[in-house]
Amino acid sequence: MSTAAPASDTEAAFIGIGELPSGRYPDRSFIGSLVDVAVAAVRDAGLTMTDIDTILLIPCLHSAADQADLVFSRVVEELGLNGRAKSNAMVHSGGSTSDNTVRAAASLINSGHARHVLILQAEKWGSAPVNEMIDMLTANGIPREWEKATGLSFNAVGALITQRYMAVTGSTAQDMASVCVALRDWAILNPNAMYRKPLSVEQVLGSRMISDPLHAFECPMMADGAVGIVLTSAGEARKSHDAWVRIAGSGGVVSHYSIGQEADLGVLGWPRAAREAYEQAGWGPGDADLAEVYDSYTAVLTIAMEGLGLAPVGEAGRLFAAGEFSPGGRFPVNTNGGLLSAGHTGVGGGTALLAEGVRQLLGHAGPDRQVPGAARAVCGGSGGTYMDSQVLLLERVTR
């Protein structure tokens, strides 16, 4: 039975997106990037900057000082909103932050606490020293008392998940490598993606083994990137927009903190999170036109897709190999190229995927990769050591 609530004028509506290309841009400043995507998103939304009353910030991981600037309202000053902005605050849950930020924005709008919310994210991972970032990730987000002394790295976390997934499903190394190839084929169509040269299964499997069974091309490359997203109420959206995007359903499960405490590394929290979201939306995976799902490692994506009902359990890897999720395939997945090819912009990797889902439903994804008639998108995010499985079901609404 559907428990979907009828669309109301107070519910949240996505109306604008701004994004900078992902990659290595050492000359692009952090604050400058935030301002650029803020301006782009507000223009895309058909608003002026002074319409924005609430700024929700997605954290950066490259610098504690830049993070402090975000928390302490530097963006408000840069955008000339001193004395006008009602609230500047940060939401943080690692890679799933954008899902939780959107929930927060939607709740503020729906309850009347905010009218126009600007969500901002920028990251300088691609320009930061790689070893420092690896150590930062190793020092934070894993239990220092119980797991740090094992030598655990984030690539090892991805490897533990991938190893389990391959063992349980019988997916081959070729199947897993084909996930990278499918994502690359999408990235080639995305001018904002970090990697746009064709990639083959042979190249993936020929790259160096990092942490078995992960090869170098199966580990995400750290990137600079920035995204802005504008939400308002459906009532406001209707005044000046022909189409907007609503949140039809949302579900989530936080399944662990320590990777050593995850009950099933081949399943994670997806099945229950997905059930909750589909029940709220009143539609199912078969009704979706595309998916934008966190993919910092290949099995992180295949496990999520199976839990989300977008592939039969155990089959996602083989279906990637069969080209089902590639451009021209049966069902478009991660149409921006995902974290593995568009670039891992830290907490922003999930933001870029979510922004792409909104962009597709607004019909703004450009001639090369726009999914024709895209009306429903399944978005999935995960943070930390894949501690949570967050689902947002998005729907295009027309006036």
Partner 1 sequence: MTEPGMAEITEPYYEALARGELLIQHCKACNHTIMYPKHRCPFCFEADLDWVTVSGRGILHSYTITRLTAPSGFEDETPFALGVVKLEENVQLLARLWPDADGGWDGYACDVPVEFHPVSADEARRRPVAWFRLSAR
Q: Which of 178, 211, 302, 360 binds partner 1 (CB under 8 A)?
A: 211
Contacts of 37 (CB under 8 A, 6+ apart): 18, 19, 20, 120, 121, 122, 226, 227, 228
Residue 65 touches partner 1, criterion: CB under 8 A: no
Residue 145 touches partner 1, criterion: CB under 8 A: yes
* CB nearer partner 1, residue 219 or residue 321: 219
Rounded distance between C-alpha atoms, residue 49 and residue 75, angstroms: 12
* CB nearer partner 1, residue 143 or residue 327: 143
Q: Which of 7, 71, 167, 170 binds partner 1 (CB under 8 A)?
A: 167
Residue 370 touches partner 1, criterion: CB under 8 A: no
Whether 390 contacts 397, CB under 8 Å: no
Nearest to 128 by CA among 84, 66, 174: 66
Q: Which stretch binds partner 1 (CB under 8 A): 144-152, 314-322, 329-337, 365-373?
A: 144-152
> And the tokens for 365?
């994804």
Sign for the pseudo-dihedral over CA of 26, 69, 391, 264: positive
> And the tokens for 309?
């009902």
The one-letter code for the residue type at 357 is: G
Q: Which of 15, 105, 109, 160 binds partner 1 (CB under 8 A)?
A: 160
Cα distances (Å, whole numbers) of residue 278 to 96, 227, 241, 356: 18, 27, 27, 20
> And the tokens for 108?
């503020």
Give the helix ranges, DSSP H, for 126-269: 130-139, 154-169, 173-187, 201-206, 234-240
Residue 61 touches partner 1, criterion: CB under 8 A: no
* CB nearer partner 1, residue 215 or residue 359: 215
Residue 146 touches partner 1, criterion: CB under 8 A: yes
The one-letter code for the residue type at 206 is: G
Residue 272 touches partner 1, criterion: CB under 8 A: no
Q: Which stretch binds partner 1 (CB under 8 A): 29-37, 56-64, 205-213, 316-324?
A: 205-213
Residue 219 touches partner 1, criterion: CB under 8 A: yes
Least spacing, CB of residue 209 vs partner 1, in Å = 5
Residue 254 touches partner 1, criterion: CB under 8 A: no
Whether 75 contacts 38, CB under 8 Å: yes
* CB nearer partner 1, residue 260 or residue 271: 260
* CB nearer partner 1, residue 168 or residue 371: 168
Q: Which of 155, 192, 335, 360 binds partner 1 (CB under 8 A)?
A: 155
Residue 212 touches partner 1, criterion: CB under 8 A: yes
* CB nearer partner 1, residue 259 or residue 377: 259
Q: Which stretch binds partner 1 (CB under 8 A): 159-167, 180-188, 223-231, 323-331?
A: 159-167
What three-state secondary structure class fits 324? coil
* CB nearer partner 1, residue 213 or residue 309: 213
Neighbours of 33 (CB within 10 A): 23
> And the tokens for 199?
């990639």
Residue 153 touches partner 1, criterion: CB under 8 A: yes
Residue 196 touches partner 1, criterion: CB under 8 A: no
Rounded distance between C-alpha atoms, residue 225 and residue 25, angstroms: 9
Tell me the angle at which helices 173-187 and 298-307 cross, rounded to the nearest 10 degrees. Answer: 90
Rounded distance between C-alpha atoms, residue 220 and residue 23, angstroms: 12
Contacting residues toward partner 1, per CB under 8 A = 131, 134-135, 138, 143, 145-147, 149-153, 155-156, 159-161, 163-164, 167-168, 208-214, 216, 219, 258-263, 265-266
